[in-house]
Each structure stands twice: as structure tokens, then as C-alpha cells.
Amino acid sequence: HFAVEAFDLEAVDYVLKPVSADRLERAIERAVARRGQRRQRASQFLDELWVPHRSELLRIAVSEVHQIDAERDYVRLHVGGPEAQRSYLLLQTIAGLEERLDPEQFIRIHRSTILRRDNIRGLRHDGLGVWSAELVNGDALRIGRTYLGRVKAMAGR
């Protein structure tokens, strides 16, 4: 019963009493290895994007991006707050960019839309299986059926 609960909590190992030094050492090595894997996974995600703007390249921190929309083989990055909102076009498919974004920070809600998770205020059921994501700025964006399960899982449903 405790082992099942431990794995639900993503335990690295399960050590039973009496604990032998050898067994404890292996458990610690496993924990250290997993911690290294998490760091490595975190570093594979983008921290910044370089986008062409007029005659220059601008560096945009991924943390500034709150919405990404697909436009054929391009994506439109929406950056900034309500007063100073800007958007930039980047030659990149939405699927290609999604793979390089941290899923802890971003979630795809539609085949043409990725949102920063903290840009979502709530989810609304509009009837007949249609759901919308309510954004912090008051806008509502429809959630595609393909992505609904993942979005609900984010909300603990």
C-alpha cells in the first residue's frame, strides 16, 4: 500500500527497514541521477527567441510571450502587457515551437494556439462539449477537442 502511494508521488526508490548501507547508497545514486536528468530536460527548452523586426534581430525572453498563434509556416508571438502589447512574426511552425517550449509554462489549446499557462484565468463550458479558455485580459479562446483532455488535466480534472 505504501509502495503504490510512493510511486504516485514519483518516488525515486523504496527502501525497507532494516536499511543496509549498500541499498541506501544505490537509492541515493538513483536520486542524484534523476535530479541531473531534470536539469538536463529543463535546459532543452528555449529561454529566448530571436525574431526579425525591420532591419534588426530582437531578443525576446520566452517569459515575456503570453500567446502564440499559427499563421501557416509562421507563428505570431504576442508579447507584453495590456498597455504595451506587441506581436512578432517568426518563421517557425507551431508544432516545431511547441516541442521547444517548457510544458510547465505553456500549453497548446488549439491547433493554431499556444498559451502561457499563467495567462489563463479559467475554463468555461459553453455547452455541447465546447470549452473556452478565459484569459487574464478578459478574452476567451476556444479550446480544440484534440487538446481539451490535456487542458482539463492541467486544471486537475
**CATH number (domain holding residue 99):** 2.40.50.1020
**pLDDT for the residue numbered 43:** 65
| Residue range of the domain that includes 73 | 48-154
pLDDT in tens, 91-140: 999 999 999 999 999 999 999 999 999 999 999 999 888 999 999 999 99
What is the secondary structure of 69-93 as a DSSP string? EEETTEEEEEES-SSS-EEEEEES-
- 67 and 14 in a single domain? The answer is no
**150 and 93: one domain?**
yes
Burial status of residue 40 (CB atoms within 10 A of its CB: 0-12, 13-18, 19 or more): exposed
Q: What is the pLDDT of residues 41-76, one digit of tens each?
A: 556 899 999 999 999 999 999 999 999 999 999 999
**Domains in the chain: how many in total?**
2
Q: What is the pTM of this model?
A: 0.72
- Judgement on whether residues 98 and 139 belong to the same structural domain of the protein: yes
- With contact defined as beta carbons under 8 Å apart, do 141 and 110 qualify? yes
Q: Mark whether 104 and 125 lie in a shared domain.
A: yes
Sign of CA dihedral 83, 124, 107, 70: negative
18 cis-preceded (ω within 30 degrees of 0): yes
Output the pLDDT for position 31: 82
Let me know whether 10 and 56 are in one domain: no
Is there a contact between 37 and 30 (Cβ–Cβ < 8 Å)? no
Give the full edge-to-edge strand order of the sheet including 130-135. Answer: 120-127, 130-135, 140-143
- 35 and 76 both lie in a single domain: no
